[in-house]
Amino acid sequence: MTQKIFIKTYGCQMNEYDSSRMADVMAPHGFVRADTPEEADLVILNTCHIREKASDKVYSELGRLRSLKTARAGEGRQMIVAVAGCVAQAEGEEMLRQAPVIDIVVGPQVYHRLPEMVARARARNRIVDTEFPAVDKFDALPESRQVEGPCAFLTIQEGCDKFCTFCVVPYTRGAEYSRPVRQIEAEARNLVLRGVREITLLGQNVNAYHGDDGNGGECGLGPLVDVLSRIEGLERIRYTTSHPRDMDDALIEAHRVNDKLMPFLHLPVQSGSDRILDAMNRGHTRQMYVDLVARIRAARPDIALSSDFIVGYPGETDEDFAQTMDLIRTVGFAQSFSFKYSPRPGTPASAERKQVPEETKARRLEILQAELTAQMRRFMESCVGRRFDILLEKPGRYPGQMIGRSPYLQSVNVVAPHARIGDFVTVDIVAALPNSLKGELAGRSGSRQVGRN
Ligand code: 5AD
Ligand code: SF4
């Protein structure tokens, strides 16, 4: 009998990848994707624990699901509710106590056991499984089946050993683990056979990747990109998220020589103050970051950078914050994400006595975001007049219009009546809108793109 599964994903792209793996693992058991929780027999909330609001949202969603589940039961139908992801991992049993609507709490390392858990939940058992098993979850999960569009994520590394003092990831995702090269290559080939042209390699510390190379050695991210770039039909490679400490020479070299590696790099710095960077246990100074950016730009002059920032880390003074603003002006970012520090239970920074008042955090965030937004606008405007290859991802709002991605991940609108999704088209950028670019067709470029502009 066909049943329906609805998955709501919060947080990072690794959760998005995991959500499609969960759909894949349930598919052989007769589950097809539903568009709304109302029509679903199994609802999974794939949660994120990284900042306060992320986990609050889960509890309010659970509130909504409770009435839905009760209404369903009134009709004599069962609805199973599962909570997956990092909140599940961090809170485990506690979630069952807090929210009686939950049937299953499943941590990120055991998604392959989901079918069995759903069967047990059917018999009205409530289940918590947040183990970190010895088997590799990627070995146990089926090959990706459901591919939507020409761009896909591929998790190559998971977990983190860095223990930045503000961050829950080392606790929720566990120790750093890299998948073997052969397994990644096979998955990438499979994606390409299904029409994928652009792959984003994912990992919490993706550039710390050091997978088994199949010959008794280890392979870093630079050489892995080279291996993948030899796959015919795969035209673009990206990776995220990186740590400045793991940007090695081989990876920088890959940016210099490999045209399939896109000139856009998310390289979070968090703060521009040495004092705060040290307190955060980031393991690098402000100057080391600036020097690193200079080396990357020397290798790939047209590279655009993006970063994450935290304001109001415990003990952050006006002077520390001024240092962060100064770093932003020194480096220049094409895009950025910025957050108010939020204490995460169990992390060292949450126990610090010198917490920064909310108003101060809010004020600093506003100042920081104003600068970052202005930098983004300048970058978008600097694209006007340039010629880009765009990978077409979806139809636009009007007939004949398509939306694609630039090498810098920007959305580009273009009128291209004869093109299809998955095609590369060459466009001249004619206007910069707040969150996208407008392009005009310069001619079809076939399937190979011009790497540098
Ligand atoms: N408070 C605020 N921001 C955080 N991040 C991680 N942990 C916290 C926290 N406790 C941010 C960092 C990280 C991004 C994914 O989320 O900037 O790079
Ligand atoms: Fe968290 Fe730091 Fe690891 Fe990134 S490097 S996942 S911020 S502990």
Cβ of 166 less than 6 Å from ligand 1: yes
Instruction: Judge contact between 168 and 348, C-beta under 8 A.
Output: no
Residues in CB range of 423: below 8 A, 6 or more apart: 391, 392, 416, 444, 447
Average pLDDT over every residue of 430-448: 80
**Residue 445 reports pLDDT greater than 70:** no
**Residue 25 reports pLDDT greater than 60:** yes
Q: How do strand 157-158 and strand 104-106 relate by DSSP bridges?
A: unpaired
Instruction: Judge contact between 88 and 111, C-beta under 8 A.
Output: no
The confidence band for 136, taking pLDDT boundaries of 50, 70 and 90, is confident
Summarize pLDDT for 183-236 with one digit per residue, the tens. Answer: 999 999 999 999 999 999 999 999 999 999 999 999 999 999 999 999 999 999
Average pLDDT over every residue of 128-140: 79
Average pLDDT over every residue of 33-41: 94
**Residue 359 reports pLDDT greater than 60:** yes
In degrees rounded to 5, what are phi and psi of residue 232?
A: -70, 135
Which pLDDT belongs to residue 443?
A: 55
Task: Output the CA 224–ligand 2 centroid distance in Å.
Answer: 22
Instruction: Judge contact between 35 and 52, C-beta under 8 A.
Output: no
The confidence band for 252, taking pLDDT boundaries of 50, 70 and 90, is very high
Residue whose Cα lies nearest atom 2 of ligand 2: it is 164
Which pLDDT belongs to residue 452?
A: 43
In degrees rounded to 5, what are phi and psi of residue 432?
A: -110, 120
The confidence band for 138, taking pLDDT boundaries of 50, 70 and 90, is confident
* Crossing angle for the helix pair 221-229 and 249-257, to the nearest 10 degrees: 30
Q: Which of 15, 162, 270 to mutate to test the pocket of ligand 2 (most atoms within 8 A of CB)?
A: 162
What is the rounded distance in angstroms from the CA atom of residue 364 to the CA atom of residue 321? 8
Which pLDDT belongs to residue 280?
A: 98
Task: Output the CA 167–ligand 2 centroid distance in Å.
Answer: 6
What is the rounded distance in angstroms from the CA atom of residue 304 to the CA atom of residue 263? 6
Cβ of 361 less than 6 Å from ligand 2: no
Percent of the chain with pLDDT over 70: 97
Among the ranges given (25-39, 242-256, 264-278), the one the predictor scored with the smallest mean pLDDT: 25-39
What is the rounded distance in angstroms from the CA atom of residue 22 to the CA atom of residue 28? 11
Which pLDDT belongs to residue 444?
A: 52
Instruction: Judge contact between 128 and 121, C-beta under 8 A.
Output: no
Cβ of 310 less than 6 Å from ligand 2: no
Which pLDDT belongs to residue 140?
A: 74
Which pLDDT belongs to residue 54?
A: 78
Cα-Cα end-to-end distance for the chain:
53
Summarize pLDDT for 318-353 with one digit per residue, the tens. Answer: 999 999 999 999 999 999 999 999 999 899 999 999
**Residue 446 reports pLDDT greater than 60:** no
Q: What is the pTM of this model?
A: 0.92
Single out the residue of 209, 193, 295, 192 nearest to residue 246, CA to CA: 209
Indicate the length of the chain as a whole number. 453
What does each C-alpha distance from 298 to 232, 292, 304 come to in angstroms? 29, 10, 12
Q: Which of 49, 55, 167 to mutate to test the pocket of ligand 1 (most atoms within 8 A of CB)?
A: 167
Which pLDDT belongs to residue 76?
A: 86
Question: In 348-399, where does DSSP find H-type helix?
Answer: 358-382
What does each C-alpha distance from 340 to 6, 315, 366 come to in angstroms? 31, 13, 10
Task: Output the CA 270–ligand 1 centroid distance in Å.
Answer: 8
Cβ of 52 less than 6 Å from ligand 1: no
Summarize pLDDT for 364-416 with one digit per residue, the tens. Answer: 999 999 999 999 999 999 999 999 999 999 999 988 999 999 999 999 999 99
The ligand that comes nearest to the alpha carbon of residue 173 is 2
Higher-pLDDT residue of 146 and 335 is: 335
Task: Output the CA 195–ligand 1 centroid distance in Å.
Answer: 34
Cβ of 333 less than 6 Å from ligand 1: no
Average pLDDT over every residue of 48-53: 86
Task: Give one word for 149, left, alpha or beta, with left for phi > 0 and alpha for psi -120 to 50.
Answer: left
Q: Which of 15, 48, 49, 166 to mutate to test the pocket of ligand 1 (most atoms within 8 A of CB)?
A: 166
**Residue 450 reports pLDDT greater than 90:** no
The ligand that comes nearest to the alpha carbon of residue 340 is 1
Index of the ligand 2 atom closest to the CA of residue 168 = 1
Which pLDDT belongs to residue 451?
A: 42
What is the rounded distance in angstroms from the CA atom of residue 390 to the CA atom of residue 387? 9
Instruction: Judge contact between 438 and 431, C-beta under 8 A.
Output: yes
Cβ of 170 less than 6 Å from ligand 2: yes
